[in-house]
Amino acid sequence: MDLGSGIPGDGRCLFRSVVRGAHLREGKPSPCESHERELADELRAKVADEFIKRRADSEWFVEGDFDTYVRHMRQPQVWGGEPELLMSSHVLQAPITVHMWDKKTNCLKIIAEYGQEYGKESPIRVLYHGYGHYDALQSPFGSPKSKLSRGRSGAFLFVFEGVISIWSWLMENLGCWWICSCCKDLIKQQRAVIQYLIG
């Protein structure tokens, strides 16, 4: 088992996830940690500029004073959220899809989509853990233009970069199957799914 790290929780996780997801979408390898950090900080600056550019459209959905919010968002350790995902989609002119683990179904579900005006195919995919942390998702089928297979539940199969490396086997005809690993909760859920499947 590879115990490498996923997106670090350094206040830049949303921006790092979008940057890494954009690389994956374009078929490029993930940037090294230091380059990813630089790219995340560049994206943050462009997102802050995009808020100003789109002030009339965005002022109503940010908390508190708009100028203070944007000035605060320029700081590297400030967490990003939904407004920053929306502005990131405009900066990159690409759709962004946010997924979250559904404990009831033990599958990933889409919880938000941004930038649909830039197309719906091959979005940048990020995972929201529900604790203010984001990670990048990638399709196990390589090219962003690959068609994703569906299990009986209708859910897409995704593999995201996290704590455990991608496993090389899949079990056929067993319905919804996810290879998920990024935090302890998801690892526990993953093990429960494996136990269920191999029963």
Out of 10, 65, 67, 102, the active site residue is 10
Would you call 107 a catalytic residue per the annotation? no
Which residues lie across from 109 on neighbouring strands? 100
Mean pLDDT throughout 75-99? 96
Average pLDDT over residues 131-135: 87
Query: Is pTM beyond 0.85 here?
Result: no
Q: What is residue 7's predicted lDDT score, i.e. its pLDDT?
A: 86
Report yes or no: 58 and 95 within 8 Å, Cβ to Cβ: no
Establish whether 41 is a catalytic residue: no
Q: Is 194 helix (H, G, I), strand (E, B) or coil?
A: helix
Domains along the chain?
Answer: 13-198 (3.90.70.80)
What is the per-residue pLDDT across 34-74, written as a single tens digit (0 to 9) for each? 999 999 999 999 999 999 999 999 999 998 999 999 999 99
List the catalytic residue out of 23, 90, 99, 133. 133
